[in-house]
A and B are shown apart, each in its own frame.
Chain A
Amino acid sequence: MFHPDDLTALGLTLKLAAVSTAVLLVLGTPVAWWLARTRRAVRPIVDALVSLPLVLPPTVLGFYLLLLLGPGGPLGKLMTAAGGRPLAFTFTGLVIGSVIYSLPFVVQPIRDAFAGIGPRPFEAAATLGASPRDRFFSVALPLARRGFLTAATLGFAHTLGEFGVVLMIGGNIPGRTQVLSIAIYDHVEALDYARAHLLAGTLLVLSFGLLLMVHLVSRRFPGAKP
C-alpha cells in the first residue's frame, strides 16, 4: 500500500518523535519542577521562553537554529573544530529542533501537574522522614503521572506534525531528514494526491488515536489533575 520511500519517511518520523519525546521528558521535568516551585523573579521570563515556540512561526525557529547549527554558525564551527560535522541537515539536528519546537507541550502539563499537587503531600512526606530528593521520586513523580502522560503524548504528536523547523534545518533528504509532513508536501507539489492522501490520513488517524488514548487512560488515574 505504502511506497517504500513513504515507509522510510514514516519510520523516520516515528523515530524522531520517540527520541525527541524521550529527550524532552528528561530535560523538561527539572525545568517544570523548577517552574512549579520557584518564587524567583526570573520565573516569568523562563515561563515566557518555554512558551515561545507556541506562538513563534516554526520557520523563525528553524531559521535561527540553522544559523546556530549550520557550518557557519557558532555551534557548527565548534562541531567542525572538534572533528565532527555541523548538525544542520542531520538527524541529531532534527532532534534538537524538535525538542525546542515541542518544549512547551511537554513542560507545561508537567509543570501544572507538579503545581497541582500542592504543598501538603510534600510536608507529610517530610515529617515521615523523606528527604527532598526522596520526596521528588516518591511523591512528586507518581502524583504527577497524569501530567507526564499528557506531556509525552502531546510532545510525541506535536513532533509528528512538525514541518517548518525540519524544512529549515533538516532539508529534505530521503532516509535522513525527510519526515512525513515534508513527504506529503512533496507529493502535493508533484500532484500525486493518492500518496499524499495515504500519508495525511495516516497522520490524522495516528494523532487522533494518541489523543483519544490519553483521555481514556488519564480518567482512570487518581490524584493530581493535569
Chain B
Amino acid sequence: MSLELNIGLTRPAGPEGGPGFDLQVELTLPARGITTIFGPSGCGKTTLLRCVAGLEPNARGRIALAGRTWQDGGEFLPAHRRRVGYVFQDGALFAHLDVKGNLAYGLKRRSGHGPGLEEISGLLGLDMLLDRRVEALSGGERQRVAVGRALLAGPVLLLLDEPLASLDRAGRRSIYPYFERIAAETGTPMLHVTHSLDEAARLADHLVLMEGGRITGSGSLADMLTRHAPGHEAGGVVFARVAEIDQSDHLARLEFDGGQLLVPDPGLGIGARTRVRIHARDVSLALEPASGSSILNILPARVLDLAADSPARILVRLMVGETVLVAAVTQRSAHVLGLRPGLDLFAQIKSVALL
C-alpha cells in the first residue's frame, strides 16, 4: 500500500503580479497513518495536495494509490471520482446547510460501506452541534465538522490542508487527539500539510520536507527530525503517556520507552497520550549522573552516531530506550568526553516542548 506521486505543475508569472511557480515532485509515500508535508509558506505543499485530490487539472505526471492509477499522461480521474476527503484550511463548509446537512452531504454520495453519521459524530464530538448553523460554529468546531464530512464520504485517503492554521494553540491541542483516533479507528491514511514543525512533530508518522516546489527529504518522523536539515532545528520526539500529575508542583510525569520526563502540567488527563519535542540545543551530555543540579530530567542514553553540524558544533544522536534524541555539543566537548558510537552516558534535558 503506497501513494506514488510523480507530478509537475508550472505556472507562469501571472499578469496580476503573482510570481511564477514550478512544482516538481517524485515521491512514494506509505498509504497508512499520518504523513505530514512540512515546508514554509509558498513552497507548493498545498498545490501538491490539490494535485493529489484532482483539483489541479493542469498538473502533469502520474498519481497512483495502492496500485490504482488516478492520473497518468492523458488519463485524469476527476476529483469527484477519486474518493479523497479534503479538509480545507477554512473548512469550506456549505453555508446553506446546517451541521447535519454538511455531514450528510458526503454520506449521501458515498458508494460502499463505512462509518455512519452517529459513529463519526461521536468520534469527533459533534453530537451537540448537529442542528447548528455553520456560521454559529467556532474555528475548532468548524474544522471538526469538515473532517467528519470528509470521513463520511468514505475516502480512501484523507487530505488535510493546514487544517489547524486558523486555530490558537489550545484549539489545535484539542483537535490533535481526534486525528489520532481517526488513524486508529478508521484506518484511513492521511496526507497532512503544515508550516508548523510542532504540528508536524505532534501528528506525523512519516515526514516529508519541502522547499521551493521540490522535496528535500522524506522519511520516518524520528529519522527526519533527528538529522540537521535546513529550515528546522534538529531534535528528538518522545511519544509519551501522562502517568501522574503532581498538583503541588504543577508538574506532570510522562512515561515513555526510555524512562520518564517531568514537565509542566499540560492540563491533559492521566493516561492521555502526547508527544514532546526536545531540541538538540536543550540536551547536554555527562559521563556521570549530575548531582546537585537544577536539571530535573536526566536520562541514561547510548550514543548512536555523531555528525558535524558546523565547524564548532557536533550533533550527537542518542538512543534512550527506543527513542532517538539529539544533543548539540561543541567539538571540544565531544573530544573531552571521548564521544563515540556505543558509549553509555547521561543526557541532561534542560527544557522540553510539549506539543
Contact = CB atoms under 8 A, between A and B. Distances in A.
Interface of A: 120-121, 123-132, 134-135, 138-139, 142-143, 145, 222-224
A134 B133 contact: no
B105 A127 contact: no
Interface string B125-155: 0000000010100000000000001100100
Contacts of A142: 96-97
B94 A139 contact: yes
B79 A126 contact: yes
Classify chain B's interface size. Answer: 20 to 34
Nearest to B84: A127
A123 B79 contact: yes
B92 A143 contact: no
B78 A129 contact: no
B39 interface: no
Contacts, number: 75
B80 A126 contact: yes
Contact of A129 (B96, B97, B153): B153
B55 interface: yes
Nearest to A118: B92
Contacts of A222: 95-96, 133, 135
A125 B53 CA distance: 12
Contact of B79 (A127, A134, A224): A127
Contact of A143 (B53, B55, B95): B95
Nearest to B90: A120
Contacts of A135: 80
7 contacts: A121-B94, A123-B55, A124-B86, A126-B78, A129-B153, A143-B94, A222-B96
Interface of B: 53-55, 78-86, 88, 90, 92-97, 105-106, 109-111, 133, 135, 149-150, 153, 159
A223 B95 contact: yes
Contacts of A124: 86, 88, 92-94
User: B93, B106, B110: which has the most chain A beta carbons within 10 Å?
Assistant: B106
A134 B55 contact: no
B105 A138 contact: yes
A127 B85 contact: yes
Contact of B80 (A120, A131, A145, A224): A131
Given A120-B88, A127-B53, A222-B133, 12 more contacts: A123-B79, A124-B94, A126-B54, A127-B85, A127-B159, A128-B85, A128-B109, A129-B106, A134-B109, A138-B105, A142-B97, A143-B94
B92 A223 contact: no
B25 to A, nearest CB: 20
Ranked nearest first, the 4 interchain pairs of A and B with the lowest CB-CB distance are: A129-B109, A127-B86, A126-B79, A223-B95
Nearest to B107: A128
Contacts of B54: 126
Nearest to B85: A127
A222 B106 CA distance: 21
Given A134-B109, A138-B105, A129 B83 contact: yes
A127 B50 CA distance: 10
A128 B95 contact: no
A129 B110 contact: yes
A137 to B, nearest CB: 12
A123 B53 CA distance: 9
Contacts of B84: 127
Contacts of B109: 128-130, 134
B254 to A, nearest CB: 38
Contacts of A223: 95-96
- Point out which of B79, B83, B110 has the most chain A C-beta atoms below 10 A from its C-beta: B79
